[in-house]
């Protein structure tokens, strides 16, 4: 059963002026390393990661705040290079509430970018 769908669109240029401190506050070490490994497209990767967070939050019907911090939702790439979300902390708690504690929950993530824009879509389903 589908629990939620979220989508987000981000202009990648907004990450050009972010300080290293601000990036470290929002993105995980793995995300920053991934973006830095492709310096020519670093901002696009960060925009993808930001869009993924926002799409997830829309899918569960909440936002960042007291219960969910920036580091609670992050993006990793599996062995095949496909992006996947890691859900931790307060985000995991809210996800469990929204899925009524379902045993099996899948969080699907799709990322894309074109020109100056990055987009993410998240679908949350219980099995």
Q: For residue 85, list its beta bridge partners.
A: 75
- DSSP code at position 4: E
Interval 81-102: pLDDT, tens: 999 999 999 999 999 999 998 9
Residue with tokens 């290079």: 81
pLDDT above 80 for 106: yes
Burial of 104 (0-12, 13-18, 19+ CB in 10 A): exposed
More confident: 85 or 40:
85
pTM flag (> 0.85): yes
- DSSP code at position 37: T
Whole-angstrom distance, CA of residue 6 vs CA of residue 9: 11
Residue with tokens 């829309």: 58
Residue 90's CB is within 10 A of a number of other CB atoms, namely 17
Interval 59-82: pLDDT, tens: 999 878 778 998 899 999 999 999
Given this model, what pLDDT does residue 107 score?
A: 97
Ordered structural domains, the chain, with CATH: 2-126 (3.90.470.20)
């Amino acid at each position: 059963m589908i629990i939620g769908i979220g989508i987000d669109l981000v202009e990648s240029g907004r990450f050009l002026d972010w300080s290293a401190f601000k990036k470290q506050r929002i993105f995980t070490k793995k995300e920053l390393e991934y973006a830095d490994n492709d310096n020519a497209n670093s901002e696009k990767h960060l925009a993808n990661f930001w869009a993924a967070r926002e799409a997830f939050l829309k899918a569960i019907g909440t936002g960042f705040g007291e219960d969910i911090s920036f580091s609670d939702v992050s993006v990793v790439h599996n062995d095949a290079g496909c992006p996947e979300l890691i859900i931790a902390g307060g985000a995991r708690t809210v996800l469990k509430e929204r899925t009524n504690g379902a045993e099996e929950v899948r969080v699907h993530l799709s990322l894309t970018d074109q020109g100056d824009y990055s987009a993410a879509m998240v679908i949350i389903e219980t099995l």
